[in-house]
């Protein structure tokens, strides 16, 4: 059983409450589509590299009519980084003890005109403490209208806290969600941030607003596009796009690497992979 201080507990409580609200919102969309799909929740416990218990989490998964596969994972873990991995984490070089809590979400959609979405926010503690995360839109068939709406919502969330956040974090997303071996981006961007340390209250408030922005804009985009007619050619574009998505998540994604290096639940870590994909 992990012992949490007030900041760690507050962050954990927020991520779990955000999960519940997002899942309820996505299930409501399924009901509107005439589906009774619901999230199935699977708890898991973590053992760190030394064999000691180190927290765990709950993986939520739903397969429906609109959401072909959507996973929402909340984890709260702690223990010691391996000596090799500790070198890559701020504040862990001197002391490998760590704590992390966060939410990670990936949704793959049945209709090629509905963009896949990703969102992750987290709070980490070593000898330093910081928030990180973001959200990005991943359409197989991009819509300028959807892209602008998504960015506008996160631009507003950023502007409420710091006028430099959106320019910095949207550029960071462009650079981060990039497949260098193909010279293409994973999607149409969003925001990505990390290492927001000190000033716990301010950065926690910003991280909350990132979650609120996601919960506000994504259901609107899904509802707008979920009944759009599509062709076999559209589906081919979707499956090929998903292949690129898989390549990024397995080769470059920080969350995948962090989970695998810290003894996380493999099913939860790899929930981001789509049910079907193609490579040509």
Tell me whether residue 279 is in a domain: no
Which helix (H) or strand (E) element contains residue 77?
Answer: strand 67-80
- In terms of DSSP H, where are the helices of 116-183? 144-159, 165-176
Whole-number Å distance between alpha carbons of 177 and 188: 9
Instruction: Find the domain containing 193 and state its range.
Output: 6-272
Quick: pLDDT tens for 18-77: 999 999 999 999 999 999 999 999 998 877 655 566 788 999 999 999 999 999 999 999
Whole-number Å distance between alpha carbons of 131 and 90: 12
Other beta carbons less than 10 A from residue 175's beta carbon: 11
Q: What confidence score (pLDDT) does residue 86 get?
A: 65
Tell me whether residue 1 is in a domain: no
Tell me whether residue 277 is in a domain: no
Tell me whether residue 278 is in a domain: no
Other beta carbons less than 10 A from residue 34's beta carbon: 8
Q: What confidence score (pLDDT) does residue 99 get?
A: 92
Whole-number Å distance between alpha carbons of 37 and 248: 28
Burial of 239 from C-beta contacts in 10 A (0-12 / 13-18 / 19+): middle
Other beta carbons less than 10 A from residue 94's beta carbon: 9
Tell me whether residue 80 is in a domain: yes
Q: What confidence score (pLDDT) does residue 30 get?
A: 98
Structural domain count of the chain: 1
Whole-number Å distance between alpha carbons of 137 and 150: 7
What residues contact 214, with CB distance under 8 A and at least 6 apart?
22, 105, 117, 119, 135
Q: What confidence score (pLDDT) does residue 52 get?
A: 62
Quick: pLDDT tens for 212-222: 999 999 999 99
3-state secondary structure of 199: coil
> pTM of this prediction?
0.93
Which residues of the chain are modeled with pLDDT < 70?
A: 1, 48-53, 86, 92, 263
Q: Is 118 a catalytic residue?
A: yes
Q: What confidence score (pLDDT) does residue 92 get?
A: 67
Q: What confidence score (pLDDT) does residue 48 get?
A: 63
Percent helix, strand and coil across the chain, each to the nearest 5: 45, 30, 30
Q: Which CATH number is 83's domain given?
A: 3.40.1500.10
Q: How far apart are the first and last CA of the chain?
A: 47
Catalytic pick among 108, 118, 151, 203:
118
């Amino acid at each position: 059983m992990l012992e949490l201080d007030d900041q760690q507990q507050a962050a954990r409580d927020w991520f779990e409450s955000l999960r519940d609200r997002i899942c309820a919102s996505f299930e409501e969309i399924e009901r509107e589509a005439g589906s009774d799909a619901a999230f199935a929740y699977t708890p898991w416990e973590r053992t760190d590299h030394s064999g000691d218990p180190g927290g765990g989490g709950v993986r939520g998964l739903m397969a429906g009519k609109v959401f072909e596969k959507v996973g929402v994972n909340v984890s709260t873990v702690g223990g010691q980084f391996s000596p090799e991995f500790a070198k890559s984490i701020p504040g862990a070089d001197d002391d490998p003890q760590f704590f992390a809590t966060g939410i990670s979400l990936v949704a793959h959609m049945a209709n090629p005109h509905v963009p896949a979405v990703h969102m992750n926010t987290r709070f980490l503690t070593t000898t330093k403490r910081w928030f990180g995360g973001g959200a990005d839109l991943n359409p197989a068939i991009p819509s300028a209208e959807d892209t602008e709406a998504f960015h506008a919502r996160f631009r507003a969330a950023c502007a409420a806290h710091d006028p430099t956040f959106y320019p910095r974090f949207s550029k960071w997303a462009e650079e981060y969600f990039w497949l260098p071996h193909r010279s293409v981006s994973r999607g149409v961007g969003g925001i990505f941030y990390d290492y927001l340390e000190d000033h716990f209250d301010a950065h926690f408030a910003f991280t909350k607003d990132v979650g609120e922005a996601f919960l506000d804009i994504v259901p609107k985009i899904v509802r707008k596009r979920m009944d759009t007619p599509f062709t076999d050619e559209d589906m081919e574009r979707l499956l090929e796009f998903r292949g690129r998505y898989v390549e990024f998540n397995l080769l470059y994604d920080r969350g995948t690497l962090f989970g695998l290096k810290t003894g996380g639940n493999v099913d939860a870590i790899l929930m981001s992979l789509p049910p079907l994909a193609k490579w040509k």
